Structure formats: C-alpha cells, structure tokens
Amino acid sequence: MTEPARPSPTAALAASASRAPLAFDRGHTDDLMTFLAASPSPYHAVATAAERLEKAGFKQVAETDAWDAVTSAASAAGSGGKYVLRGGAIVAWYVPEGAAPHTPFRIVGAHTDSPNLRVKPLPDSGAHGWRQVAVEIYGGPLLNSWLDRDLGLAGRLTLRDGSTRLVNVDRPLLRVPQLAIHLDRSVTADGLKLDKQRHLQPVWGLGHDVRDGDLIAFLEETAGLPAGEVTGWDLMTHSVEKPAYLGRDRELLAGPRMDNLLSVHAGTAALTAVASAASKPASIPVLAAFDHEENGSQSDTGADGPLLGNVLERSVFARGGSYEDRARAFAGTVCLSSDTGHAVHPNYAERHDPTHHPRVNGGPILKVNVNNRYATDGSGRAEFAAACEQAGVPFQSFVSNNSMPCGTTIGPITAARHGIRTVDIGVAILSMHSARELCGADDPFLLANALTAFLKR
C-alpha cells in the first residue's frame, strides 16, 4: 500500500491567498518536547504555560481583585492579555482594543492532568526489607506501562503559611518491579493480572525500619525547605525518560502526558500568536486548560466547575456589560474542546470503526458521537472545517466502533454547563493513557495552526 502523502508547510505556503500560511513547523514539535519534559504534573504544566504567556505580554490577575480596576489599568498600559491560574488549571484570554461587552468568545479547551500513580496521605510503607511509597491510581492508566520503568516524583507542596511550592525529582527515584516470569508462568497464556492495591506500590530503597515522614522530609530537603514546613502535598509519579523522535525518518514522537499536554501546548502557542498579531481578532480568544478531566471534571478546577463561567462573566461585566451582554456574548461563543483521540492501530484495526481510520500525521481529528459523548454536530463540523481550510490544514473524522463504548471529554460538559456551542477535536495517537504515548511528529504543529485560525475567525 502506498503511504499517503503528509502535508507540509511548503505545500501550505503555496495555497491560495484566501488561506493563511502555516505559522508553525517542526520547531513547534521540538518545543512541545521541551514543554512535556518541563510539565510532570498539572501544576508544572500551568506554571510553564503561564511563563510563556507572560513572555507574550499577558498579566496574571487575582480572582480576589476587582476586575473593573484591573481592566482599566490594563487598557491604560496597552495590555489586554490576562490569565487566571488556580492550582492545576489556567484560563487565559485576550481582549482586543475596543471590544464591546457583548463580544463573543472563541475558546480552546483542554486539560492538564494525565493518568498516573499518586502519593497517598500516609506515603511511607514497606515490607521484607524494601522501603516503598504508598500510591493510589489516578484516572484510567494502562497499568502495565508503569511497570519496570524509572519514575520520578513531582507535584505541589503546601507550606504552613498556606503558600505552595512546586517540586520535581526528575531522576530515577521509584520503580514498580514486575514479578519474574519464573514465579508466574501463567502470565504468558493468561495475560498479566494486576491487583491495584498489592502490585503497584513502588520501591525507593532498602530498610527494615519504615519511618513516618521520611518521604516528605526528603522532598523538603530537595526543595530547600526547613524540616516540618510541609503540611500538605499533591504528588505524583512520572516517567523520567525524555520525549524523543522515533522511526527511521523521525516521523513519530514518543513521550509522556501527550493526553493532554499536546493540546495545552498548542492552545498556548495559538493564543500567544493571535494576541501578538498585527491584525486583531473580532472575537475574544480564550485558552481554558482544566484539571481533573481524567476522573470526571467535578472539582473547582475541572470543566464541570464554575471557573470558566466565572472568568467569562467577569470579563463581560468588567467591560461595563450587563446580564443581557453576557447572554449575547455566550450565545455567539464557540469552544473547540481539544483532546487526543485514537489513531487506527495496525495490530488491532478491528477495534476501530471500519470506515473511519484516522492516521498519524494526517492532521487533527474531528470527534463525533451522536449520543453526545462528544459535543460535535453538523454546524460544529462546518466551523472546524472552515478553520482548517483557512489554515491550509487537512483534518480527519473519528467515530467509535458501534460495538464498543465511546470515551468522552470536556466538550459535552462545557456545552451543557455554559450553553456554549462546542466542537470536539484533537490529535490521533497510539498508546493513550500509557506512561509513554505515541503520535505523528507533524500533527502537533498542524493542530496549532488549526487552533490559531479558529481563534482568529
């Protein structure tokens, strides 16, 4: 079979004048690798995104401040880019000069969390001369992918005064050792069977005297904090293996947390590009990267919480708007819920819909489910198709096999909670929810270009 030709920036630059040339190339994918490595937890991901936004002129605003004063100060300074950071979530937006209170929003939605192993409240444990860390399963990880892998530890420490400190032990610290085949020869015939409580507790040293507080004391020392300063923590494991190009022609990208930091990175790049452009958008571009998508989105930082709605409403009211202006703005708003999806698997093609086989490096995917597991409808398809055409980017369609349940995203939640027209899209990958996932090396920058065109429209 002849491999389908991959789109290239050169081809896009030769497109008609009605199409915008590609703004990103493989350099964007190189930068994605840097972003993934710098973001081992949702808290690190939003800090990394915030740093990039600030370099582009965005300013952080506090939710406890009066935003009418903040807006006036920003206008006087000629800066319309702002963001709110809360825990593992970030919402950033750019108000073009002269935007009316009823100006609609154009939102790129994503999430910062990924399935992994997270540290329990009493982490110090062990048995038979091994020192271990007690962990809990977060989300729906491919458990076998966490076995025999060198793991670091990262997350957020909360101090006695209520402040927080990020910590990242980015070296081999933990390991979940697999049982030797000599002690369970049935694994070859019957498959690997893991008990989540007994078989996934990592080791991190030797010793018969397990002492409460050892792990946190180690992290206090690592973070340069006084002993006893940490009173709370949100910690998780991560693979310390760095992202890397893969394949004879380096046409693939292997790395952690692409579900869904790939979209967070693309959305950040798209928002900063639109805010920095000479021509100003007719709508207000927004990036909303939520936490806790992998376990249902029901938190103050999740898509099912009030964060996005509060930010959008306060933006309307800070510009002198009324409830009527808020209703008009929301009615004209469109959200692209950008998350990863399933590329056709060469070894399991029968698990996919027989007529919908998204391929890596074939461009972003439009995700459709008539039972509203995805929020896309016909008008949403037209919206995304127009953005892709403007960017000179191809796109593909994804639906689940009728005989299998369909996953879901923040898309339906956003649509239902805020009454906002929402379209589910993303990038097709393999090994979703593995400690190390696989995508096409061209797809990240194709997605970024499509998102940029969408925010500009």
The secondary structure of residue 295, as a DSSP letter, is G
- 128 annotated to a ligand binding site: no
Q: Where does residue 217 rank: exposed (0-12), middle (13-18), buried (19+ CB within 10 A)?
A: middle
Taking the CA atoms of 129, 133, 137 and 143 in sequence, report the sign of the dihedral they define.
Answer: negative
How far, in Å, CA of 159 to CA of 155, rounded? Answer: 13
Residue indicated by tokens 């049982």: 179
Candidates 406, 375, 410; CA nearest to 302 is 410
Q: Where are the beta strands (DSSP E) in 240-376?
A: 244-246, 252-255, 284-290, 334-338, 341-342, 365-367
3-state secondary structure of 167: strand
Candidates 373, 383, 317; CA nearest to 108 is 383
Please report how the helices 378-391 and 443-456 are oriented relative to each other, as an axis angle in degrees rounded to 10: 110
- 182 annotated to a ligand binding site: yes
3-state secondary structure of 429: strand
Q: Which helix (H) or strand (E) holds 91?
A: strand 89-94
Residue indicated by tokens 């990020």: 166
The residues facing 244 across adjacent strands are 254
Please report how the helices 307-318 and 323-331 are oriented relative to each other, as an axis angle in degrees rounded to 10: 120
How far, in Å, CA of 28 to CA of 270, rounded? Answer: 11
How far, in Å, CA of 212 to CA of 421, rounded? Answer: 50
Biggest distance spanned by C-alpha atoms of the chain: 72
Q: Where does residue 406 rank: exposed (0-12), middle (13-18), buried (19+ CB within 10 A)?
A: middle
User: What is the pairing mode between strands 81-86 and 252-255?
Assistant: unpaired
How far, in Å, CA of 341 to CA of 452, rounded? Answer: 20
Torsion of CA 241, 260, 448, 392, to 10 degrees: 110
3-state secondary structure of 331: helix
- 433 annotated to a ligand binding site: yes
Residue indicated by tokens 């709508």: 283
Q: Where are the beta strands (DSSP E) in 112-222?
A: 116-127, 130-138, 151-159, 164-174, 203-206
The residues facing 294 across adjacent strands are none
Residue ranges of the annotated binding site are 111, 182, 433
Residue ranges of the annotated binding site for Zn(2+) are 111, 182, 433
